[in-house]
């Protein structure tokens, strides 16, 4: 039987130690270093809020109770938690990286209603049926067993509580040539993600300069000319800062474990985890979906 233990290491910060975890420690270390480097301090509030609204476009804020308590699974730097904490009574930020949590604590120090836990997804330190909502954005495709991760997130939800999920999409709404481009880029990721940290960052910066920035700005120009840009690679970044492009280039090419899922696969995993009334966002980033605990 798996054993778990919790212990306090700082004010409002708990660590959960477990055996047999649904976690890749090398990936956790990489993301901890990423959030130390890109703590989001150079991104404007307006840009972060625009991204937040896109992720939460389908989230049913109106259904939450007045004293809502929820969790952010894989909070990273806390960039989304800062907006959520302003709207709810209490928010618990959970991340397996102590480095990431240190950044999140700093970014959220003005929010006394935020608690912090250092734990893996299969050791979420929340009582079953205790939370009014939860979300996990861009995290569970980086764990070995994504379906099990979703089930772990659903467990602490109350009946009728919403859970918002963002997983990398399997390009199921893209043409064949788009998927071919991704396959070529993924070969690069397999090599780049295993480079030493310093060299990996430099290579990802080069990718941001010579791939992300030109394609994003081309899409921006095309949009101003009244052309459709939805099928253009990296058009999602057309209104974003170069800092965000650098962050996401490292996020994309710097991780050793990445899984992608079609809309149908995500819907199936959410259903099997006990979620109903599943709704997908029609816009990027793909795929964002919300479900209600049955």
Query: Within a 10 A sphere around the Cβ of 47, how many other Cβ atoms?
Result: 15
Does the pLDDT value for residue 1 go beyond 90? no
Does the pLDDT value for residue 160 go beyond 70? yes
How much is the pTM?
0.90
Does the pLDDT value for residue 140 go beyond 70? yes
Does the pLDDT value for residue 143 go beyond 50? yes
Residue, of 19 and 225, whose pLDDT is higher: 225
Question: What's the pLDDT at 16?
Answer: 38
Assign a CATH topology to domain 4-170+260-293.
Answer: Rossmann fold (3.40.50)
Question: What's the pLDDT at 21?
Answer: 80
Question: What's the pLDDT at 273?
Answer: 97
Does the pLDDT value for residue 103 go beyond 90? yes
How far is 257 from 243, CA to CA, in rounded Å?
Answer: 23
Q: Which of 6-10, 149-153, 276-280 has the lowest mean pLDDT?
A: 6-10
Does the pLDDT value for residue 139 go beyond 50? yes
Q: Which of 4-13, 214-223, 282-291 has the lowest mean pLDDT?
A: 4-13
Does the pLDDT value for residue 9 go beyond 80? no
Question: What's the pLDDT at 152?
Answer: 97
- Work out the mean pLDDT of the chain and round it to a whole number: 92
Domain ranges of the chain: 4-170+260-293, 176-253
How far is 281 from 140, CA to CA, in rounded Å?
Answer: 18
pLDDT in tens, 228-276: 988 899 999 999 999 999 999 999 999 999 999 999 999 999 999 999 9
How far is 96 from 94, CA to CA, in rounded Å?
Answer: 7
Does the pLDDT value for residue 99 go beyond 80? yes
Query: Within a 10 A sphere around the Cβ of 127, how many other Cβ atoms?
Result: 9
pLDDT band of residue 10 (cuts 50, 70, 90) is: very low
How far is 265 from 249, CA to CA, in rounded Å?
Answer: 25
Residue, of 222 and 16, whose pLDDT is higher: 222
Mean pLDDT of 19-40: 89
Mean pLDDT of 182-202: 95
Does the pLDDT value for residue 19 go beyond 60? no
Question: What's the pLDDT at 20?
Answer: 52
Does the pLDDT value for residue 204 go beyond 60? yes
Question: What's the pLDDT at 231?
Answer: 86
How far is 23 from 87, CA to CA, in rounded Å?
Answer: 30
């Amino acid at each position: 039987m798996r054993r778990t233990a919790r212990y306090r290491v700082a004010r409002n910060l708990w660590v959960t130690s477990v055996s047999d975890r649904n976690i890749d420690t090398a990936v956790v270390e990489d993301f901890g270093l990423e959030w130390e480097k890109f703590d989001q301090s150079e991104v404007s509030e307006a840009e972060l809020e625009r991204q937040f609204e896109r992720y939460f476009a389908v989230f049913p804020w109106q259904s939450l109770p007045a004293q809502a308590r929820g969790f952010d699974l894989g909070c990273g730097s806390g960039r989304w938690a800062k907006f959520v904490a302003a709207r709810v009574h209490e928010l618990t930020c959970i991340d397996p990286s102590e480095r990431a949590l240190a950044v999140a604590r700093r970014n959220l120090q003005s929010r006394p209603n935020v608690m912090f836990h250092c734990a893996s997804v299969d050791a979420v330190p929340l009582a079953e049926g205790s939370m009014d909502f939860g979300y996990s954005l861009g995290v569970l495709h980086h764990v070995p067993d994504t379906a099990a991760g979703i089930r772990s997130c659903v467990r602490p939800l109350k009946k009728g509580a919403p859970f918002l999920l963002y997983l990398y999409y399997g390009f199921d709404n893209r043409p064949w040539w788009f998927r071919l481009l991704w396959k070529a880029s993924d070969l690069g990721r397999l090599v780049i993600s295993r480079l030493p940290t310093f060299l990996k960052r430099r290579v990802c910066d080069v990718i941001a300069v010579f791939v992300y920035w030109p394609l994003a700005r081309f899409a921006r120009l095309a949009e101003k000319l009244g052309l459709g840009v939805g099928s253009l690679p990296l058009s999602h970044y057309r209104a974003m800062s170069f800092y965000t492009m650098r962050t996401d280039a490292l996020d994309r090419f710097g991780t050793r474990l990445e899984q992608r899922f079609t809309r149908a696969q995500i819907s199936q995993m959410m259903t099997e985890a006990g979620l109903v009334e599943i709704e997908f966002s029609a816009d990027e980033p793909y795929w964002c979906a919300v479900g209600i605990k049955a």
